[in-house]
Amino acid sequence: MALSKPKKKQYRPNPNKQSKEAQRKGSNKSLIFLTLAFVAVIAVIIIGLNQQSKPASFDYASLPTQGSTEAPVKLVEFGDFKCPSCQFFAQNIKPQLEKDFIDTGKASLSFVNYTFIGPDSETAALAAEAVHQQNPEAYWTYYKTLYDKQQDERIEWATPEHLVQLAKDANLPIDFDKLRSDIDNKTYKKRVDKDNESVRPLNVTGTPTLFINGKKYTGSMDYASIKATIEKTLKG
């Protein structure tokens, strides 16, 4: 009697084992994804920290600048001519900076427009830029005049007519007809726009904001604190 060959067992996958294998692969993929995401976040943080520690670059030659171009400390003020806090800076802090640092050749001060308070913030900036282009030294007289004659920030006081009249009252050595024409035609709007576009990359969120040798000043906006930071910068 012939013996029948034993039947080969058919391979039947174990559903439980297959499920565990799928779970293991899924877990590995999730782990890889989380690891990559963590690495990406760390890289972004490192890049951000490096950018913060890296001094900002300013085109000092094109900015309205008071003081020696060779001064070891370069101050940059972001301001709005309608800003009350900027008025305080101009009237109470800047004169002391001039006496102790600017007039002595230790520091220079440059100005960048940040026109965010009202529509006439831009009009005032356009007027100031027009004065600067005609006579760089007259700019700082006009700067002082605009802040000394500043009105309530809630009203639109910086009209072309008023801005020209302020220049006349200050006896600026410029062509007043050209000033009016430059304001009306927005001749220097691109320059003002360029100033405003630099605000976000530099994390400027208000006025006045001060940079000292390219580094954003984060201390108190009082003269003693600013002076201490400048003196520290001078010592290297």
DSSP states of 16-36: HHHHHHHHHHHHHHHHHHHHH
In degrees rounded to 5, what are phi and psi of residue 217?
-80, 125
Residue 217 has pLDDT above 70, yes or no: yes
In degrees rounded to 5, what are phi and psi of residue 116?
-125, -10
CA distance 214 to 46: 20
- Where exactly are the structural domains of the chain? 60-235
Segment 64-103, tens digit of pLDDT: 999 999 999 999 999 999 999 999 999 999 999 999 999 9
Please report the DSSP string for 97-159 in residue order: HIIIIITTTSEEEEEEE---S-HHHHHHHHHHHHHHHH-HHHHHHHHHHHHHT---TTS----
Give me the pLDDT at residue 12, please.
Answer: 55
Give me the pLDDT at residue 67, please.
Answer: 97
CA-nearest of 63, 112, 87, 65 to 216 is: 112
Q: What is the CA radius of gyration of the chain?
A: 31
Segment 26-51, tens digit of pLDDT: 666 665 656 555 434 343 333 343 44
Segment 127-185, tens digit of pLDDT: 999 999 999 999 999 999 999 999 999 999 999 999 999 999 999 999 999 999 999 99
Give me the pLDDT at residue 18, please.
Answer: 58
| Distant-in-sequence, close-in-space partners of 206: CB < 8 Å, separation ≥ 6 | 85
Query: What dotted CATH number matches 60-235?
Result: 3.40.30.10
210 bridge partner residues: 77
Lookup result for tokens 């559903």: 15
Residue 230 has pLDDT above 70, yes or no: yes
